[in-house]
Amino acid sequence: MHRLQFVLLTSGFCIGGAIAAEAGPCTAQIADVERRLQHIAPGPASGPTLQQSVGAQLHRQPTPGSVQTAEDKARSDAQAALARARQADAAGDLDACAKALQEAKAVYGLE
């Protein structure tokens, strides 16, 4: 019976070590941001945002197309930031990962 326990315990450590070895310095933070993004209710106050354009400052009303374009750009920027975070995490670069995550969170107002 002791041999079986030893084999099971050793196997557990090997599997756990392999999983931990694949995790980067900010894997948990990336997962948290992705989870938070999935739970954002759709709506004008909760979607991705960018800086106000010059055209918006000239008292012009946005068209549905320009609103959609801006939302698509913001969503694309957030996804690119998450991709950079994953890449930095895989490389073990905590600073670059944290910076990219901050950019993704800023797009969605997840400070």
Q: What is the pTM of this model?
A: 0.66
72-84 burial string, b = 16+ CB within 10 Å, else e?
eebeebbeebbeb
Instruction: pLDDT tens for the chain, 111 residues: list them.
Output: 445 444 444 554 445 444 444 689 999 999 999 998 888 766 666 666 666 667 666 777 878 888 788 888 888 888 999 999 999 999 999 999 999 999 998 888 887
pLDDT at 17: 44
Are the beta carbons of 100 and 80 closer than 8 angstroms?
Answer: no
Query: How far is Cα 66 from Cα 31, in angstroms, rounded to an integer?
Result: 31
pLDDT at 45: 60
pLDDT at 61: 80
